[in-house]
Amino acid sequence: ETGVTQTPRHLVMGMTNKKSLKCEQHLGHNAMYWYKQSAKKPLELMFVYNFKEQTENNSVPSRFSPECPNSSHLFLHLHTLQPEDSALYLCASSQAGAENTGELFFGEGSRLTVL
Protein backbone atom coordinates (compact mmCIF):
# COMPACT_ATOMS: atom_id res chain seq x y z
CA GLU A 1 0.00 0.00 0.00
CA THR A 2 1.74 3.13 -1.24
CA GLY A 3 -0.96 5.66 -0.41
CA VAL A 4 -1.73 6.18 -4.10
CA THR A 5 -4.83 4.44 -5.44
CA GLN A 6 -5.66 4.04 -9.10
CA THR A 7 -8.95 2.90 -10.60
CA PRO A 8 -9.80 0.98 -12.60
CA ARG A 9 -6.92 -1.49 -12.55
CA HIS A 10 -7.91 -2.84 -15.95
CA LEU A 11 -9.83 -1.15 -18.75
CA VAL A 12 -10.75 -2.36 -22.22
CA MET A 13 -12.25 0.18 -24.56
CA GLY A 14 -13.06 0.67 -28.20
CA MET A 15 -11.59 3.50 -30.22
CA THR A 16 -14.83 5.48 -30.10
CA ASN A 17 -15.40 5.16 -26.36
CA LYS A 18 -14.89 7.81 -23.70
CA LYS A 19 -13.51 6.68 -20.37
CA SER A 20 -11.57 8.09 -17.45
CA LEU A 21 -8.76 6.90 -15.22
CA LYS A 22 -8.77 8.05 -11.62
CA CYS A 23 -5.96 8.54 -9.15
CA GLU A 24 -6.19 9.48 -5.49
CA GLN A 25 -3.35 10.06 -3.06
CA HIS A 26 -3.59 10.03 0.72
CA LEU A 27 -0.08 11.28 1.42
CA GLY A 28 -0.67 15.02 1.61
CA HIS A 29 1.56 15.60 -1.41
CA ASN A 30 1.29 18.68 -3.59
CA ALA A 31 2.37 17.23 -6.95
CA MET A 32 0.80 14.50 -9.06
CA TYR A 33 1.95 12.85 -12.27
CA TRP A 34 0.75 10.67 -15.11
CA TYR A 35 3.27 8.31 -16.72
CA LYS A 36 2.73 5.94 -19.64
CA GLN A 37 4.56 2.62 -19.71
CA SER A 38 4.65 0.68 -22.97
CA ALA A 39 6.56 -2.52 -23.58
CA LYS A 40 10.26 -2.04 -24.39
CA LYS A 41 10.07 1.74 -23.96
CA PRO A 42 11.20 4.07 -21.19
CA LEU A 43 8.58 5.28 -18.79
CA GLU A 44 7.10 8.37 -20.48
CA LEU A 45 6.11 11.39 -18.44
CA MET A 46 2.76 12.70 -19.69
CA PHE A 47 1.54 15.38 -17.29
CA VAL A 48 2.62 17.01 -14.04
CA TYR A 49 0.45 19.04 -11.68
CA ASN A 50 1.94 21.16 -8.91
CA PHE A 51 -0.60 22.62 -6.48
CA LYS A 52 -3.34 21.74 -9.00
CA GLU A 53 -1.64 23.69 -11.78
CA GLN A 54 -0.38 21.83 -14.82
CA THR A 55 3.34 22.43 -15.14
CA GLU A 56 4.31 19.79 -17.69
CA ASN A 57 2.63 18.52 -20.81
CA ASN A 58 5.06 16.41 -22.76
CA SER A 59 3.51 16.78 -26.22
CA VAL A 60 0.73 14.44 -25.32
CA PRO A 61 -2.02 14.05 -27.97
CA SER A 62 -5.25 15.88 -27.19
CA ARG A 63 -7.14 12.58 -26.99
CA PHE A 64 -5.65 12.44 -23.47
CA SER A 65 -7.11 15.15 -21.24
CA PRO A 66 -5.94 15.50 -17.63
CA GLU A 67 -7.93 17.03 -14.80
CA CYS A 68 -6.74 17.88 -11.31
CA PRO A 69 -9.65 19.22 -9.23
CA ASN A 70 -7.58 19.29 -6.02
CA SER A 71 -4.16 18.20 -4.83
CA SER A 72 -5.41 14.73 -3.86
CA HIS A 73 -7.16 13.73 -7.07
CA LEU A 74 -6.03 13.38 -10.64
CA PHE A 75 -7.96 12.15 -13.64
CA LEU A 76 -7.01 11.17 -17.15
CA HIS A 77 -9.91 11.47 -19.56
CA LEU A 78 -9.64 9.29 -22.64
CA HIS A 79 -11.47 9.67 -25.93
CA THR A 80 -10.99 8.46 -29.49
CA LEU A 81 -7.93 6.44 -28.54
CA GLN A 82 -5.79 4.36 -30.87
CA PRO A 83 -4.60 0.77 -30.38
CA GLU A 84 -1.05 2.07 -29.84
CA ASP A 85 -2.33 3.85 -26.74
CA SER A 86 -2.65 0.48 -25.05
CA ALA A 87 -0.25 0.59 -22.11
CA LEU A 88 0.06 0.68 -18.35
CA TYR A 89 -0.80 4.16 -17.09
CA LEU A 90 0.86 5.01 -13.82
CA CYS A 91 -0.07 7.78 -11.45
CA ALA A 92 2.44 9.10 -8.94
CA SER A 93 2.64 11.79 -6.31
CA SER A 94 5.43 13.61 -4.54
CA GLN A 95 6.08 16.52 -2.25
CA ALA A 96 7.42 19.05 -4.71
CA GLY A 97 9.68 21.93 -3.87
CA ALA A 98 13.31 22.94 -3.97
CA GLU A 99 14.05 21.27 -0.64
CA ASN A 100 12.51 17.95 -1.63
CA THR A 101 14.19 15.07 -3.38
CA GLY A 102 11.49 14.32 -5.91
CA GLU A 103 10.88 10.80 -4.61
CA LEU A 104 7.79 9.49 -6.33
CA PHE A 105 5.09 7.31 -4.83
CA PHE A 106 3.35 5.28 -7.50
CA GLY A 107 -0.06 3.68 -7.72
CA GLU A 108 -0.45 0.15 -9.03
CA GLY A 109 -1.35 1.37 -12.48
CA SER A 110 -4.30 1.09 -14.84
CA ARG A 111 -3.79 -1.44 -17.64
CA LEU A 112 -5.52 -0.01 -20.72
CA THR A 113 -6.32 -2.03 -23.81
CA VAL A 114 -7.72 -0.23 -26.85
CA LEU A 115 -9.42 -2.47 -29.37
Structure-derived torsion over alpha carbons of residues 112, 12, 67, 7, reported in degrees to the nearest 10: -80
Question: Which residue from 78, 107, 112, 114 is in contact with another protein, where contact means CB under 8 A?
Answer: 107
Q: What number of chain residues touch another protein (CB under 8 A)?
A: 32
| Alpha carbon separation from 87 to 1, 3, 11, 37, 49 (Å, rounded) | 22, 22, 10, 6, 21
The stretch among 11-19, 42-50, 61-69, 74-82 that binds another protein (CB under 8 A) is 42-50
Does 28 help bind another protein (rule: CB under 8 A)? no
Does 111 help bind another protein (rule: CB under 8 A)? yes
Q: For residue 84, report the phi and psi dihedrals to the nearest 5 degrees.
A: -70, -5
Amino acid at 16: T
Q: Are 4 and 24 in contact (CB under 8 A)?
A: yes
Q: How far is the CB of 18 from another protein (least distance, A)?
A: 25
Question: Which residue from 16, 40, 59, 83 is in contact with another protein, where contact means CB under 8 A?
Answer: 40
Give me the residues that bind another protein (CB under 8 A), please: 2, 4, 6, 31, 33, 35, 40-43, 45, 48, 50, 55-56, 88, 90, 92, 96-98, 100-109, 111
